[in-house]
Amino acid sequence: MAFLHKPPNNREQLMRLGTLFVVLLWGLTAWTQTTTSRNWVDTEGSYTDAAGNALTVTNSLPKGGGTYTDTSGNTYSYVIFWHKVTNTSEVPLKLELGFPAEPYPIFSSLDSYIRLFLPPDRMTPENIGQQDYGLDLSRFLDAAFEAPSRLEKTIAPHGEFLFYVPILIRQARGTARAALVMDGDRVIYQIKIHPQDADIPCGKLLFKECY
């Protein structure tokens, strides 16, 4: 017996279109939630001094992929990290960081190196979803490429401070990761550009009662 195909009436068509719309809307909502909920955090570390004062350091994943060309015509690739220092103690925390203007030759080739910077631009949680974390890197480097970078900040009890560290990479490639780690009151900037890595002393963190 042959079955005759009965064309759907207008009501059936509207119901099918409504169901399709709901499915598409659900898929779009699920995709949006997945892509906007990523917090771009790579690692976190907690530290406590002998007096019981504590802090937490949050280190981001990198953003970047673009290039920068200096006034001499040298072209660099770059990655941008942000770091957050949270003072979980009852006393103020003083942060002092600095990078020299000279490059760091962490690679086996003498022609390859990195340069690190501390822009004064304010990093905020709202910038996390933006391209390059909202940092206008070219504008900063055009004005401060040859200068050493310094940063000083006093973080109030139970306060937090976010800041950028862009890294220029000359004639080298690799997956980049970075972390701010503590060694006593010294701050070490730990950079890995696979397969190379380096621990760069860059400053200190001191609670107010210690200085």
Q: Which residue is listed with tokens 């070490």?
A: 188
Residue 120 lies in a domain: yes
Residue 105 lies in a domain: yes
Residue 59 lies in a domain: yes
d(CA 134, CA 21): 35
pLDDT attached to residue 208 = 85
Query: What is the sign of the dihedral through the CA atoms of 142, 82, 115 and 101?
Result: positive
pLDDT attached to residue 119 = 97
Residue 67 lies in a domain: yes
pLDDT attached to residue 121 = 95
Q: Which residue is listed with tokens 């970078």?
A: 149
Range of the domain at 138: 41-210
Residue 28 lies in a domain: no
Summarize pLDDT for 150-187 with one digit per residue, the tens.
Answer: 999 999 999 999 999 999 999 998 999 999 999 999 99
Confidence of residue 16 (pLDDT cuts 50, 70, 90): low
Q: Looking at the predicted structure, is the pLDDT value of residue 47 above 60?
A: yes
Residue 168 lies in a domain: yes
Confidence of residue 26 (pLDDT cuts 50, 70, 90): very low
Q: Name which of 184, 195, 76 is nearest 138 in CA terms.
A: 76
Please tell me the total count of domains within the chain.
1
- What is the rounded average pLDDT of the residues 93-98? 97
Confidence of residue 110 (pLDDT cuts 50, 70, 90): confident
> Which residues are CB-neighbours of 203 under 8 A, at least 6 positions away?
95, 96, 97, 98, 151, 186, 187
Residue 66 lies in a domain: yes
